Structure 1
Amino acid sequence: MIVVGLFGIFEGISGIASDEVYQRLGSYVFKFDLTTWGWIHLIVGILVLVTGIAILGGKEWGRVLGIGLTALSMILHFMWLPWAPLWSIVAIAVGVFIIWALCNDKSEQLL
């Protein structure tokens, strides 16, 4: 989650800077401009990063919040498909793995 959060922060900074990194592909229903998407990814990226740090610290609330934030991140990447289709698909797949890992954590049963 820490790595996904860092990537979200980098996506956000690139979007806010209105870089030439992103080119819109096609016309979709979700018509936010690039700066708005940048702020959304920056804020969610920071939240995911902090939650990942909490999970490494062994906080139970971090695990629950991590599942919710990862699901939100997956939805946002689905909506981000017109800007970065390949990366969005990879991010959604990584999100599925993160949710699976957080739901199947057996570390408390070993203690």
Structure 2
Amino acid sequence: MTSSTPGFTGTARTPSPWVGMVLFAGVLLILLGAFQVIDGLVTLYRDDIRQATADQLAIPINFTAWGWTHLILGALTVLVGIGVLRGVTVARWAAVLLAMVSTFANLLYLPAYPFWCGIVVAMNIICIYAIVAHGRELRA
């Protein structure tokens, strides 16, 4: 479909339905970040309610350090999710990077919360796919 605007030589493209999936990924990143912030706060204040002990985790780490990791990672993920919703290119790259880091962090945290970590890993993979495959369409 060619635009009838004088001086415009390009073609107007209608975005595919996948733009909605990228917007969904942005909202999902904000939710995942908020959940990680909550998980970090719970870990910092109530480390006695975990299902696994520190030596049962994939890497030996104390829960205070792990709580701060989740807290910082979650706050960054919320900010990047807002950037994805606004169509910022740098935010898309940062979102993919943070989703990958979050996936690996939750895989290491799997013995403590197997069901929850599995859900977070699946949501991160959905975000990565939507942003990598169709993120460019959001800017248009």
Q: Do both proteins adopt the same fold according to a TM-score greater than 0.5, normalized to the shorter chain?
A: yes
Q: Which residue of 2 aligns with 1:107?
A: 137
Query: Alpha carbon RMSD of aligned pairs, Å?
Result: 1.8
Q: Which residue of 1 aligns with 2:118?
A: 89
Identity %: 26
1:60 aligns with 2:92: no
Return 5+ residue gaps in structure 2 as ranges. Answer: 1-28
Shift of the 96–29 alpha-carbon distance from structure 1 to 2, 3 Å rule, reads closer
Return 5+ residue gaps in structure 1 as ranges. Answer: none
The letter of the residue matching 1:10 is I
In the TM superposition, what is the alpha-carbon distance from 1:107 to its structure 2 partner? Answer: 1.6
In the TM superposition, what is the alpha-carbon distance from 1:18 to its structure 2 partner? Answer: 2.2
Deviations 1:20-76 (A, max 9, x none): 442216724411111111100000000111000111111100001100000000000
Do the aligned partners of 1:18 and 1:35 also contact (CA within 8 Å) in 2? no
1:38 aligns with 2:63: no
Normalising by structure 1, report the TM-score.
0.90
The count of residues paired between Structure 1 and Structure 2 equals 110
Q: Which runs of 4+ in 1 moved over 2 A?
A: 18-21, 25-29
Larger C-alpha radius of gyration, 1 or 2?
Answer: 2
In the TM superposition, what is the alpha-carbon distance from 1:19 to its structure 2 partner? Answer: 4.4
- How many Å separate the matches in 1 of 2:38 and 2:52? 18
